[in-house]
Structure 1
Amino acid sequence: MTRVVVVTGTDTGVGKTIATAALAARARAAGERVLVVKPVQTGIGPDSAEPADVDTVAELADVDVQELTRLREPLAPDTAARLERVPLPTVREHVARIRALLPAYDRVIVEGAGGLLVRLDAEGGTLLDLARDLTFALRRADGSPVDVVVVCRAGLGTLNHTELTTTALRAVQIEPAGLVIGSWPREPGLAETCNRTDLPRVTGVPVLAVLPADAGSLAPEVFRSAAPAWFA
């Protein structure tokens, strides 16, 4: 039975891609066949200097990756697609494509774009809709589990943002599997130290991992060796 993990963030730039790579590296180290899927990637064009998220994950975790849709402008997917005048797959189509990939893998990790309510298609579908539809489709089909992991910041504001995200998930009957603090500073201050304790207290969701701030800059072999130890 394939285990599906949906990775979302409380905002953009919280460390979601590095957290996805760490989850993938941990599963790979346990001997699992792992695929990371990015339904929509924005901000990547022919002249982009920055690598796509799936390229970063593939390099750091050494797992299979698939990017389903790519858009040039660094904007929300529906806005970027509208400016580019290209159609976006619907959330239903994304779910169907992800389900078709499951039989070849032990674990499929789906990385969202931005936060939970960022629109992934022109119909208003969001990652929340994708997580909900995937959860209930697999539950009906064969009982395959879907875990939703929320990547959050360490500093001020994270309690509010993380509570909003976990509340939205519970509103569609999805209990978050855990939190990942996406970038832990080398010298944490009072806010970070308190938040590490308060995040599970205020959300009722365990902290699965705390990633060091420099995790994404580690050499791939060092990243893969270190990643399992970042998890509780």
Structure 2
Amino acid sequence: MTLLFVTGTSTEVGKTVTTAALAATARGAGRTVAVCKPAQTGVAASEPGDLATITALAGITRTLELARYPDPLAPDTAARRCGADLLTLHETATAIADLDSAGLVLVEGAGGLLVRLGEFTLLDLARELAAPVLVVTAPGLGTLNHTELTTRALWDSGVHCAGLVVGSWPERPDLATRTNRTDLPRLTGAELVGAVPAGAGSWSPGRFRATAPGWFAPYWARRYLGTDATDREFRPVPAAITT
């Protein structure tokens, strides 16, 4: 089993759609993929959550959600408000380990790296399972500070940063976005390895699955997603990370 954790520099930066793109890329290369969302907040028991979005876009069939809370808050706060027990590090790590029949297991956090999923953060969980963490970041003004804080927390904790992905790259990037393309890797020491087009989450599943492999650098996809395709079989890496 290969583990890859996905965190964001904040909420609404494109974590879920990026996770779907990772799953679609690996699945398209013939790998079995499972996705775990330890804690889902802001949706009722009968409503579709982030895993439903990932399933629809990527076509995967194995997902795991350990806790769900109705209030749109940090999971630990939402759990306390509804009187639910907090997730523990041990039970969550064990549940993820039980997905070992999948070739690749993606674990999507809630909000940012230090948001409490229960009695622990995604950083604690990544350290417990010795898993690399991919950071999904925003493209525009303010992202340099947020991204550097996130990657610094990873480095300082001895957790490997698997790279940066811009979760919603605009069709017409402004000046800040264009300069951030260069400044993000320079300031964080982490490679910019992908960019997801803005609005891709609303695409048809067929278009999404066919296009997603081109959003990640081929060498990176081979290393972290286990793809075995040659560079020529990938669409060109987006201009967001090549020029």
Q: TM above 0.5, one fold?
A: yes
The aligned residue for residue 14 of structure 1 is 13
Q: CA deviation digits over 1:170-213, x for unaligned, max 9?
A: 11111201111000111100000000111111111111110110
In 2, the alpha carbon distance for the partners of 1:198 and 1:41 equals: 32
The aligned residue for residue 183 of structure 2 is 198
Letter aligned with residue 74 of structure 2: A
Letter aligned with residue 111 of structure 1: E
The aligned residue for residue 32 of structure 1 is 31
In 2, the alpha carbon distance for the partners of 1:31 and 1:72 equals: 36
**Structure 2 matches for 1:96-175, cutoff 5 A?**
96-102=94-100, 104-121=101-118, 123=119, 125-135=120-130, 146-175=131-160
In 1, the alpha carbon distance for the partners of 2:209 and 2:108 equals: 18
Match of 2:69 among 71, 74, 94: 71
Contact 1:91 / 1:120 at 8 angstroms: preserved in 2?
no
In 2, the alpha carbon distance for the partners of 1:202 and 1:175 equals: 16
Contact 1:8 / 1:149 at 8 angstroms: preserved in 2?
yes
Letter aligned with residue 120 of structure 1: L
- Aligned-pair CA distance for 1:29: 1.0
In 2, the alpha carbon distance for the partners of 1:46 and 1:87 equals: 16
Contact 1:182 / 1:210 at 8 angstroms: preserved in 2?
yes
Secondary structure of 1:210's partner? strand
Match of 2:170 among 185, 193, 206: 185
In 2, the alpha carbon distance for the partners of 1:201 and 1:89 equals: 37
Letter aligned with residue 55 of structure 1: A
Show structure 1 runs of 4+ deviating over 3 A: none
What is the aligned-residue identity percentage? 55
In 2, the alpha carbon distance for the partners of 1:164 and 1:46 equals: 34
TM-score w.r.t. length of structure 2: 0.87
In 1, the alpha carbon distance for the partners of 2:193 and 2:132 equals: 12
Secondary structure of 2:39's partner? coil
In 2, the alpha carbon distance for the partners of 1:211 and 1:80 equals: 30
In 1, the alpha carbon distance for the partners of 2:169 and 2:13 equals: 11
Letter aligned with residue 117 of structure 1: L
Q: Which runs of 5+ in 1 are unaligned?
A: 136-145
Contact 2:45 / 2:68 at 8 angstroms: preserved in 1?
no
- Aligned-pair CA distance for 1:88: 1.9
TM-score w.r.t. length of structure 1: 0.91
Secondary structure of 1:88's partner? coil
- Aligned-pair CA distance for 1:46: 4.2
The aligned residue for residue 62 of structure 1 is 59
Letter aligned with residue 228 of structure 1: P
Contact 1:74 / 1:80 at 8 angstroms: preserved in 2?
yes
Q: CA deviation digits over 1:40-88, x for unaligned, max 9?
A: 000011475xx30000000000112111111111000011011100102
In 1, the alpha carbon distance for the partners of 2:45 and 2:157 equals: 38
Secondary structure of 2:179's partner? helix
1:95 correspondence with 2:96: no
Contact 2:24 / 2:212 at 8 angstroms: preserved in 1?
yes
In 2, the alpha carbon distance for the partners of 1:60 and 1:197 equals: 30
In 2, the alpha carbon distance for the partners of 1:52 and 1:89 equals: 18
Secondary structure of 2:166's partner? strand
Letter aligned with residue 134 of structure 1: L
Letter aligned with residue 207 of structure 1: L
The aligned residue for residue 43 of structure 1 is 42
